Chains A and B, each alone.
Chain A
Amino acid sequence: MTTTWTRIRPVLLGALGVGLVVAVWDLYKAFGPEEGVRLGERTLILPRTTDLAMPHSWEMVQRFGEPVTSLAGSPTAFEAVWDAGLFSLGLATRGWVIGVVIGLLLALVMCRFRIAESAILPWVVLSQTVPLIAIAPLVRRWGSQIDLFGHVWTSEDSVAVIAAYLAFFPVAVGALRGLKSPARTHLDLMHAYGVGWWRTLLVLRLPASVPFLLPALRLGAASAVVGAVVAEVSIGLKGGLGRMVIDYAQSASGDPAKPWAPIFGAVAIGLVAAGAVGLIGLALRPFRVTGAFR
C-alpha cells in the first residue's frame, strides 16, 4: 500500500503541477483585468486578458483539430505541426550527431594532451558565454553559395551546424570530466599492468565517463532542438517549427490560439529528444555505477 503510493505520488503530483499551471492561466484570464496590470505608465507586468491576447487553454487544444487555414484541402493544425515537428527534429538530430562527434573528439584530444586542454578549454567555455548563435542570420546566405567537394551547402546544413554548435559544448565538457574521472589508483593499476593509453581509454576511461556523458548527451539533445528551432527562425528556413512559430504569429490577431500550436510542438520535440537520449542511458546501464570510482 505505502510502496505503491510512494511510486504513484510523484506521478500524480507532477501531473497536478502541470494542471496548476493551466488552471492559473485560465483563472487569470477569467478574473484578471482586461488591460493587464501596469507598472508605472507603460510597462505591462501582467498580460492583457482579452481573447486576442490570451486564448483559453481548451481553445489551444481544440485548435489542433481545426484546419490551418480556411482554404479548401488545408490539413489540420495537428498534421501541420506533426510534419514540421518531424522536420525540425530531423535537423536537430543531424546537429546533435555532428555536435556529439565533435564534442567527443575535442574531449579525447584534451584528455590526451594537457597543452590542448589548456589551449582549447577556455575557448570551449567562452563559446557558450558568448551568444555566437547571433551569427545565425548571417549564415542564411551560405545557402547554395558554398560547394564542398560536390555537396552544395543548403540552408538545412546551416541549421544543422547551428544546432551542432549548441550541442557540442555540454558533450565536450561532460566527456572531458568523465574521461578524467578515474581515480589515481585505477590509473596506477593500468600503469602497473603496462597498458598503453589507448587500452586504458577503452578499459578504464570510456566506461568511467558514462555517468558524466549521459546527462551531457541529454543536455546536448535539448540544446540541439533549441538551436534548430532558433536557427530556422533566423535563417528563414521553411518547413520546420521555428518558421511556423513566426508564420502562425502573423495570424494571431484573427486566430489567437493558432500560434500556440507550434509552441506545443516545440515542447513536444524537446521532450522527445531528451527522452530518446534517456533510452541510450538504459542501454548503457551497466556502466552507470559511479561508486567504483569514488
Chain B
Amino acid sequence: MTSLAETGATDARARLPIGEVRWSTVLAPLALGVVVIGLWQLAVDALEIEPFVLPSPGAIAGEIGANIDSVVSGARATGRNALLGLVIGGVVGVAGALLAGTFRVVDELAANVVAAAAVVPIVALAPVLYSMFGAAVDTGRIIVAALSVAVPVYLNTLRGLREVLPVHRDLMAAYAAGRWQVAREITLPTATPYVFTGLRVGSSLAVIAALIAEYFGGPIGGLGKSITSSAASSNYPLAWAYVTGAIVLGLLFYVATLTVEQWLSRHHHP
C-alpha cells in the first residue's frame, strides 16, 4: 500500500465502521453512563445532598417533563442563533481560508488576527455587540456564535488546502491542468475532510457561544437566560432541566454535522 492509506484524507473518508463495532465500543460507554447516573441518584438520596448543590437525576427528569414546552421553545431560540452562527461562520471561515490559500499575502495579513482570535474569549465581546446592535435583537449573539465557528473552520480548512500531496500537484502540472481544474480535482476534495473537522468543532462552539452570550444580557426566551433566571429564583431542578435541554441541543448540532459529513463522503466515495 502506498502512504496514501495513512493520510488523514482517506482516514476521514472511511465509511461508518458498522462492521467493526464491537460490544465494547457501544456497551462500555453506555454501561459507564448508566453506572454514573445510578451512583448520582444513589448519592443524592443517601447523602441527602441539597438540590442547590446537585439535584437528583429523577428530580431533573421530573422538571423536564413538567416544563417541556418552555425547554423546547428556549432551545429553539438559542438553536436559531447557533444555527445562523454556524452557517455564517462556516461560510466566512471557508471563504477566508480559500482566499488565504490562494493569496499568501491574505494568509500573512490574517495570521496575527486569527491567532489572537483562537485564544481569546470571543464571547466577552457580547456586551459591546449589544450596545452596537441593540440587546433586543439577536445580531450580537449570532455574531459571537459566527466568530467562534469561523476561527476553527478557517484554521482547519487552510490546513486541508495545504495537505495536497506533492505527487498530485506534479500530476496536475504534467496534465497542464488549469487553476480551476486543479482546485476542483485535487485541492477541494483534499480539503473537504478538514473543513468538516472544523465544522464539527464549530458546531459545538456555536451552541456554547449562543448560550453563553445570553449570560451577558438580552431578552428572556433562550436557554441561557432561562438557566440564569431559574437559578436566580433558586429553582435549581428547573435550571438543571434547561441545562439538559442545552446538552441535547449541543448533541443535536454535533450529530447533524456528523451526518452531513458522512452523507457527503458517502456521496463522494460510495
Contact = CB atoms under 8 A, between A and B. Distances in A.
Q: Do A and B touch (CB < 8 Å)?
A: yes
A266 B239 contact: no
A contact residues, range: 35 or more
Interface string B109-122: 11111001011110
Contact of B250 (A17, A21, A130): A130
B254 interface: yes
A166 to B, nearest CB: 10
B139 interface: yes
A10 B108 CA distance: 6
B123 interface: yes
A99 interface: no
A234 B215 contact: yes
- Interface residues of A, dominant DSSP: helix
Given A242-B124, A256-B131, 17 more contacts: A14-B112, A44-B137, A47-B129, A47-B133, A48-B132, A114-B24, A120-B29, A130-B204, A134-B243, A136-B215, A141-B53, A222-B119, A225-B121, A230-B123, A271-B116, A271-B119, A271-B120
A229 B124 contact: yes
B85 to A, nearest CB: 13
Nearest to B245: A134
A27 interface: no
B24 A129 contact: no
Contact of A129 (B129, B231, B236, B254): B254
A256 B110 CA distance: 27
A42 B133 CA distance: 11
B133 to A, nearest CB: 5
Among A10, A20, A47, A114, find the residue whose CB has the most chain B CB atoms closer than 10 A: A47
Contacts of B25: 118
Nearest to A49: B132
Interface of A: 9-10, 13-18, 20-21, 36, 42-45, 47-48, 52-54, 114-115, 118-123, 126, 128-138, 140-142, 145-146, 218, 221-222, 225-226, 229-230, 233-234, 241-242, 245-246, 248-249, 252-253, 256, 259-260, 262-263, 266-267, 270-271, 273-274
Interface in B88-122: 105, 108-113, 116, 118-121
A140 B127 CA distance: 21
B239 A115 contact: no
Contacts of B231: 137-138, 140-141
Enumerate the 4 nearest inter-chain pairs by beta-carbon distance, A residue then B residue, closest first.
Answer: A249-B127, A17-B109, A47-B132, A222-B119
A36 B124 CA distance: 22
Of listed A140, A146, A267, residue having the most chain B CB within 10 A: A267
Nearest to B128: A259
- Main DSSP-derived SS at the B contact region: helix
A226 B212 CA distance: 11
B121 A44 contact: no
A277 to B, nearest CB: 10
Contacts of A140: 231
A100 B75 CA distance: 32
A43 B139 contact: yes
Interface in B20-52: 24-25, 28-29, 31-33, 50, 52
A251 to B, nearest CB: 11
Given A130-B246, A135-B243, A17 B113 contact: yes
Contact of A131 (B53, B108, B207, B217): B207
15 contacts: A120-B32, A122-B29, A129-B251, A130-B204, A131-B247, A134-B223, A135-B240, A135-B243, A137-B227, A137-B231, A138-B227, A138-B240, A141-B236, A233-B215, A249-B216
Contacts of A133: 208, 211-212
B137 A42 contact: yes
A131 B113 contact: no
Contact of B251 (A44, A130, A221, A259): A130
B128 A138 contact: no
Contact of A118 (B24, B223, B239): B24
B220 interface: no
Contact of A138 (B105, B119, B239): B239
Given A17-B109, A138-B243, A233 B216 contact: yes
Contacts of B123: 226, 230
A14 B131 contact: no
B194 to A, nearest CB: 16
A46 to B, nearest CB: 9
B124 to A, nearest CB: 5
A249 B251 contact: no
B137 A249 contact: no
Contacts of B132: 47-48, 53-54
A137 B254 contact: no
B134 interface: yes
B246 A134 contact: yes
B131 A131 contact: no
Contact of A263 (B105, B128, B227): B128
Most chain A C-beta atoms within 10 Å of own C-beta, residue among B24, B123, B253: B123
Contacts of A45: 139
B130 interface: yes
Contacts of A129: 203-204, 250-251, 253-254
